Structure 1
Amino acid sequence: MSDAVVSEIEVPLEPLILKLPDLAREYFIPENDARDLLIRGWETAVEHFLGDGALSPNEESKLLLLAHQFQLSEGELDRNGAFSRVAKARVIRDILKGNVPGQLTAKKEDLPFNFQKAERLVWVFNSVQYLEDRSKIKYEGGSHGVSFRLMRGVYYRVGAHKGEAVRRTERLHVDTGTLAVTDKNIYFSGPSKSFRIAHSNIVSLTPYRDAVAIVRDSATAMPQIFVTGDGWFAHNVLANVAHLDS
């Protein structure tokens, strides 16, 4: 039977819930192990639904119904990050529809930013490492030359040169702080560095496993990297948030 057919089968949960304690006793499954199996099953369902990179409202409803019926807490479901993945997939879905996500718990007034008028908060990343690529020039192969004494107190140096200029790029950890994304800008604030970048000034985005890099619209701009812990989510938010309905 195909996955498409299986996904359309609706299984009544109430009889199953009532049978679970008896099934656990019959097969000598401790209560904690039975609950662990339920959580693992929920995590497997999340993997299945997100297999195509998106979460439909119907799929989300099924997951939430399972969690409610089996009284699985958010903490239990997020032990391996599955619940967070569902929340993030919902945010991406809302953004793609042109809507500002409505489940954000952070409030603009609680953040260390001077937001612009009518700016809408989309997402907040905490404990973000901010890195910068910086270009440095180092001279290699230089020589101090050789000094010859021409007469008392007079010397002549020949062959001195700085060598060949070699440009190297270093990635430096600049600060760690809060990264906020709105429908107009991205904001960063840490103990030693704070700034705002308009989405319209970002010319490229590069996703990494745990980070996203941006390059501003400037002839001398170097990549600015934000290590959020989830590069896929951060990249998708930044790539699509500028197209939200105004």
Structure 2
Amino acid sequence: MGKCKYCGNDAGLFHSKHTDCEQRHLNGIARIKKILADCFDSKEDFYLHQNEIRSICLESYLSEDTCRNIYCQVFDSAIEKYLDDGIIDAKEEGTVARFIQFSELPQHLLNANKSLERVVQSKVIQELLNGQIPAPKITISGNFPFLLGKNEHMLWLFRDVTLQMQKVRRETVGRTRGVSVRVCKGVYYRTGGFRGRPVETTYMQHIGTGSVCLTDKNLYFHCPEKTLKIPFSKILSLDPYSNGLGVQKDGANDKPMFFENLNSWFCYNVISNLK
């Protein structure tokens, strides 16, 4: 006889769960998600529903791991919703802080999908809009290859960023016209002329993977293959994408660059407000 993975009682031959138990389990997940989501929307204190959530967990066979996953999913969705209008305001920030206290989840779980990181980045942008120089508490682990200038403040550090730069490939394409005349064994001479035209094609060349340091004055990049310092005043245009940031400097010979695997929304707003 199989055991029900929810209630632990006999589930019948070749069965691992009761249909009713599974439905109760799924309903419990949905109920907790709604309670937490409503608290994020209304800014209501999560602790007011603590006993209700505990009861649902018990009657719906929800393990601690399942509850943690529910909390993380709701947190990610709430941060996404808060950022729909641009930045997280003071009331929303207070609700986020209260949820972190209520959930007792470690930071690495809350930041599994970069949600906690985006909360801090939103605060940095808010301080910039208020005319302040942000001073986020950033823990630097590993190598820090950047030498900042006097009175220059680091706002963020991105790791594992890939740099691509636009390159131009030039070649001549065309064809010859005429006939081949044998001069000696294995050697031929082509009479006629060659008509060709130059063709240029552009492509993005992989430069290397390294770190990006964003300060209140410059964007720095360092990898074993290349080091860059880009003053905000020299940036002509910024193109944010879902997977990175396109940057065009104002030099006549400067080609477009693409920094992959950083938060383009954050970088775009920081640079735009400090240029």
Q: Same fold (TM over 0.5)?
A: yes
Q: CA distance change for structure 1 residues 68 and 49 in 2, over 3 Å: closer, same or farther?
A: same
Alpha-carbon displacement from aligned partner over 1:168-192 (angstroms, at most 9, x marks no partner): 1011001111111222221111102
TM-score (norm 1): 0.81
In the alignment, is residue 88 of structure 1 matched against residue 121 of structure 2? yes
Partner of residue 243 from structure 2, selected from 210, 213, 225: 210
Amino acid at match of 1:47: E
Indicate the larger mover: 55-64 or 65-74: 65-74
- The one-letter amino acid paired with 1:49 is Y
SS at match of 1:163: strand
- Cα 1:30–1:185 change in 2 (3 A) is closer
CA contact (8 A) 2:166 2:203 kept: yes
TM-score with structure 2 length normalisation? Answer: 0.73
Cα 1:88/1:159, change in 2 over 3 Å: farther
In the alignment, structure 1 residue 54 sits paired with structure 2 residue 87: yes
Q: CA deviation at 1:111?
A: 2.2
Tell which structure's C-alpha radius of gyration is larger: 2
Question: Could you say which structure has the greater relative contact order, defined with CA pairs below 8 angstroms and 6 or more residues apart?
Answer: 1
Say whether residues 1:196 and 2:260 are aligned partners: no
Q: 1:130 aligns with which of 160, 163, 171?
A: 163
1:114 alignment partner in structure 2: 147
Change (3 A) 1:61 1:206: same
**Which residue among 230, 234, 238 is the counterpart of 2:267?**
234
Matching residue's letter, 1:113? F
Moved over 4 A (4+): 5-10, 144-150, 155-158
Partner of 2:176, secondary structure, is: coil
In structure 1, the partner of 2:217 is: 184
- Residue 17 of structure 1 aligns with an amino acid whose one-letter code is Q
Where 2:265 maps in the other structure, the secondary structure is helix
Gaps of 5+ in 2: 1-37
For residues 66 and 239 of structure 2, what CA distance do their matches in structure 1 show?
42
d(CA) in 1 for partners of 2:48, 2:76: 22
Question: How many Å separate the matches in 1 of 2:157 and 2:144?
Answer: 9
Residue 17 of structure 1 aligns to a residue in which SS? helix
Per the alignment, in what secondary structure is the counterpart of residue 94 of structure 1? helix
CA distance in 2, matches of 1:144, 1:12: 83
Structure 2 residue identity aligned to 1:14: Y
Do the aligned partners of residues 13 and 202 (structure 1) sit closer, same or farther apart at CA in structure 2, a change above 3 Å counting?
Answer: closer
Question: 1:144–1:91: structure 2 CA closer, same or farther, 3 Å change rule?
Answer: farther
Does the 8 Å contact 2:136/2:155 carry over to 1? no
Post-superposition Cα deviations, 1:74-128, rounded to whole Å, max 9, x if no partner, equal 1222223322222222222222223232224156xx6212222211112111111
Q: State the identity %.
A: 28
Listed as ranges, the matches of 1:60-71 within 5 Å are: 60-71=93-104
Distance (Å, rounded) in 2 between the aligned partners of 1:156 and 1:45: 75
The alpha carbon displacement at 1:158 in A equals: 5.0
Question: Which one of the candidate residues 62, 80, 85 is aligned to 1:29?
Answer: 62
Counterparts of 2:216 and 2:265 in 1: how far apart (Å)? Answer: 19
Offset at residue 226 of structure 1 (A)? 1.0
- Residues 210 and 232, structure 1, Cα contact 8 Å, conserved in 2: no
Distance 1:137 1:14, change over 3 A: closer
CA contact (8 A) 1:104 1:123 kept: no
Are 1:228 and 1:234, in contact at CA under 8 Å, matched by a contact in 2? no
Amino acid at match of 1:88: Q
Query: C-alpha distance in 1, partners of 2:47/2:148?
Result: 48
